[in-house]
């Protein structure tokens, strides 16, 4: 697993935890929505998302 994949996996895990702890947030998401997670100042991750 490369650095981008590891960071992305960690972000997804944290997002999943947040959704479980805050189900009211999850109910506001439209069915079929695509979630994009970005980290300010993390150019490596941002550039990885563009490829």
Q: State pLDDT tens for residues 1-51.
A: 787 788 889 999 999 999 999 999 999 999 999 988 888 888 777 776 565
Counts of helices then strands in the chain (DSSP H, E): 3, 0
DSSP letter string over the chain? --HHHHHHHHHHHHHHHHHHH-HHHHHTSPTT-------TT-HHHHHHHH-
Number of domains into which the chain is organized = 1
Q: Is residue 38 part of a domain?
A: no
Residue 27: strand, helix, or coil = helix
What integer pLDDT is reported at residue 6 of this predicted model? Answer: 87
What integer pLDDT is reported at residue 18 of this predicted model? Answer: 96
DSSP secondary structure letter of residue 29? S
Q: Is residue 9 part of a domain?
A: yes
Q: Is residue 37 part of a domain?
A: no
Q: Which helix (H) or strand (E) holds 49?
A: helix 43-50
């Amino acid at each position: 697993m490369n650095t981008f994949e590891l960071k992305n996996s960690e972000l997804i895990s944290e997002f999943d935890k947040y959704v479980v702890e805050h189900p009211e947030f999850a109910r506001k998401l439209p069915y079929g929505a695509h979630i994009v997670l970005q980290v300010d100042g993390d150019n490596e991750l941002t550039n990885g998302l563009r490829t």
